[in-house]
Amino acid sequence: MNAIPTTTVSELPDDAVLVDVREADEWAAGHAPNAIHIPLGELPSRIDELPETDDTVAVVCRMGGRSARAVQWLVQQGYDVTNVEGGMVEWQRAGKQLAADGEPNII
């Protein structure tokens, strides 16, 4: 199995644009302010919504499992992506900003 490109939360700027592959309820509870929400199951049909950038795109989920699968698939499609180790749980633990409709929380 090929190694999945990864990055740590501490390596990401606070205003990083992330692709969040969690489900809608997880997203609504709390997400990175500049994140783009594309649930893992919808990724193949919404791939055109990935940000156009020359930089590596970070992909995140709750703890890193779903985003690792997304990264593995996206790499096969030719995208420059990286998995965020520890996911949004680590993002919150690191004290990075969260956005939500109410009080932000990672579920």
12 catalytic? Reply is no
Catalytic residue among 32, 57, 61, 81: 61
| Residue 2 phi, psi dihedral angles, 5° rounding | -75, 145
| Long-range contacts, stretch 37-46, CB < 8 angstroms, 24+ apart | 40/66, 40/67, 40/69, 40/70, 43/70, 43/73, 43/74, 44/73
Instruction: Provide the annotated active-site residues.
Output: 61
